[in-house]
Amino acid sequence: MCCLGHVNLAFAEDPVECFRLMARFLLRATFAELPDPLTRENVQRNRRIGVGFLGFHEWLVQNGIRYSEASSSAWVARQLRKFREVVREEARRYAHQMRIPEPIKRTTVAPTGTINNIPGVTSGIQPLYAPFYIRRVRYSNSDEELQRVLARGDYLSVEPDVYAANTTVVSYACRDVTVDGLATGLNRHDSHTIHATNWHSSHTGSDRSAFPSVAWIPYQRKRGNRETWQDNSGCGHKPQVDDNSNNI
């Protein structure tokens, strides 16, 4: 059973304290009621937890460090060791306090590919994916939110899902404002601005001039002398764009 928790470095005012509290929280989570007796026995014996983080790239930007230089930064190494040690020490201390076995594992670097979308930060220890990108969201045709989206018009395209009935796929043109800090550097008081936003939300889906050409970079591959659109998202929905458009 996974018992994982993650500190959002992009928003953490006191990362060390956040890691300490996360270790305590996860250790308490190992007391959860589990229906399977074998799983329950394994959890109670090992007390395995995994404290990790997300928003790593934003944290580097806030501290004036390039992602490409993080692996050779002595300061980054010291901070990560500090985070690891506080988790280990607190897990040991809290386990002894509660009279349970010390956890056999304490830290992890999980991809956090879904939960990072909630605060809108980079996942795990991975870098910023792209400054501009398309996010596709599936809505049930009966979802009231879909009607609100269509009424607002702040989307790039709308099409029926080719894999599921009664489902609509809405494509949003997004811009990750973390890129603003890559050149200027963000201080911790600016961290609340780090999130992905729709690009030119005042434009309707039919107005493609609002979407700059750089936004298509992740979807464009050159094969020989021919440029073809390659959707790397795994969604299977190809952007409907005129190949002769000046915006490409």
Q: Closest by alpha carbon to 128, among 170, 68, 185?
A: 68
Work out the percent of the chain whose per-residue pLDDT is above 70: 72
pLDDT reported for residue 194: 33
Q: Smallest Cα–Cα separation from 150: which of 169, 132, 163?
A: 169
Domain positions in the chain are 4-117, 132-229
Tell me what the pLDDT averaged over the chain comes to: 78
Q: How confident is the model at residue 180 (pLDDT cuts 50, 70, 90)?
A: low
Q: Which pLDDT score is estimated for 78? A: 98
Judged by DSSP in three states, 63 sits in coil
* Band of residue 182 on the pLDDT scale cut at 50, 70, 90: low
Q: Which amino acid is at 222?
A: K
User: What is the spatial distance between Cα 108 and Cα 22, in angstroms, rounded to a whole number?
Assistant: 12
Residue 246 has pLDDT above 50, yes or no: no
CA angle 46, 51, 56 (to 5 degrees): 155
Tokens of 69: 């230089």
Q: In a 3-state reduction of DSSP, which class is residue 183?
A: helix
Whole-model pTM: value is 0.69
Distances (CA, A) of 243 to 8, 99, 135, 199, 247: 40, 66, 21, 21, 9
**What is the spatial distance between Cα 133 and Cα 163, in angstroms, rounded to a whole number?**
22
Q: Three-state SS for 226?
A: strand
